[in-house]
A and B are shown apart, each in its own frame.
Chain A
């Protein structure tokens, strides 16, 4: 039980808070973080779906890419910094509206995924020529090196991963935010802004990794504990560990880098075709475009599916077989879904086996169990996309 302990684990600014709350600390992405608190993963998962969960995601890689020489023309400066990022992602960064956050993929020359990330354009024109970029923890050193290489001479990368990044997620998150930074409740899903809180700046995005409405809050290290404790003081909020973070994102059908995405998996295979923006597709000007456009036209060997699994959870690495028992694929994430009280999984199979309703099987400890292909998310997303223009 428990992973072998790596040396030189880093602490987030909230490490002492996790210990004080009785968090069970484990190594994750080079950091020591709580997998759960004393109430356990099931209770934490359900609390987040019903109320509001607070997650320490300070291990991730927030950063700001700043144009080296800004002209002062907001559109021109945005276009210039966007051009740097578009060399390594498939998303339309140039087309971001002020305040907009976009999920995109960093790709290698063969169209495989180096990382999935968020890229956002500041709402304030005074900050044009800057992009807020958040990459995954486990890949951040390589990602930042790649970004710096692409930016050489044109833009400067300022890492912000020495601070606190907190995710407040759940149906009551917006009510909690109303009592914390009221102006941030005007944000709609996938927008962000910079807000004053007690004299410090917080960068707040309406985004998350649970399928629920919620916010991700970047603070400097000095204020991280105060933000954490202020939010936790609200009775609707409980601290949630990495275990429930994983079960929540799995129910939401969201891929996890290093498991459902890696350097061999393309956006089309991962069913993330929406992240290959139209303008980029038409220009075919991103890494691996030839493969990705070919796959988009139907020349696809495998595709990510969701599975409802009968019986024991099928974990990562479990073989997927067709109804006749022929091997067709592999599970890349699997576990127990607390909301559905059953086992679910993500995996890859050839397109011929990927239609919802297809009956497949999974091999768990050498025994075959029925598994049905279903649409994802397994649990519907409850993002708040406002009709009115807020930016």
Chain B
């Protein structure tokens, strides 16, 4: 499994032609306590950079963008009742949605772990 990162702190964990999207540990720390999450509907077609979800902290709303183009295949409905999972386990139980990847070439425009760690320094 390959994990890629965007400048805006989303990750996409790629398995074959699909990917699981969430926000990084750094992003959840910056946002603070997450109190509400608006997820996309399954079947939604996203272009790279489209607004895909919204996370609300106590203070503010932040948009989550599609890391690559594709179609939403599954959402983490548990987050509706337990948005704090994004704070507790952003890379695991706090995932937000899964998507099919329309153009694998777009993954090459994203950062790998080392580049992302450099980006948030």
Contacts and interface: CB of A to CB of B under 8 A. Distances in A.
A283 interface: no
Given A312-B54, A312-B56, A343 B36 contact: yes
A1 B31 contact: yes
A336 B56 contact: yes
Given A313-B61, A338-B58, A36 B32 contact: yes
B18 interface: no
B38 A41 contact: no
Contacts of A386: none
Given A1-B30, A1-B31, A2-B30, A335 B58 contact: yes
Given A2-B30, A312-B54, A335 B59 contact: yes
Interface string A32-46: 000110001111010
B36 A336 contact: yes
Contacts of A247: 58
Main secondary structure of the interface of A (DSSP, over half): mixed
A36 B30 CA distance: 11
Contacts of A45: 58
Given A41-B32, A312-B38, A343-B36, A1 B58 contact: no
A41 B33 contact: yes
B58 A42 contact: yes
A48 to B, nearest CB: 13
A177 B41 CA distance: 53
B73 interface: no
B59 A41 contact: yes
Among B27, B33, B38, B61, which residue has the most Cβ atoms of chain A within 10 A?
B33
A36 B32 CA distance: 9
Interface residues of B, number: 16
A6 B57 CA distance: 23
Contacts of A336: 35-36, 56-58
Contacts of A42: 33, 35, 58
B62 interface: yes
B33 A313 contact: no
A248 B54 CA distance: 24
Nearest to B9: A1
Contacts of A243: 32, 58-59
A315 B61 contact: yes
Nearest to A338: B58
The 3 closest A-B pairs by CB, nearest first: A42-B33, A336-B35, A41-B58
Interface of A: 1-2, 35-36, 40-43, 45, 243-244, 246-247, 311-313, 315, 335-336, 338, 343, 365
11 contacts: A1-B30, A1-B62, A42-B33, A244-B58, A246-B59, A311-B36, A312-B56, A313-B36, A315-B60, A336-B56, A343-B36
Given A35-B59, A343-B36, 13 more contacts: A1-B27, A1-B31, A1-B62, A2-B30, A40-B32, A40-B33, A45-B58, A243-B32, A311-B36, A312-B36, A313-B61, A338-B58, A365-B61
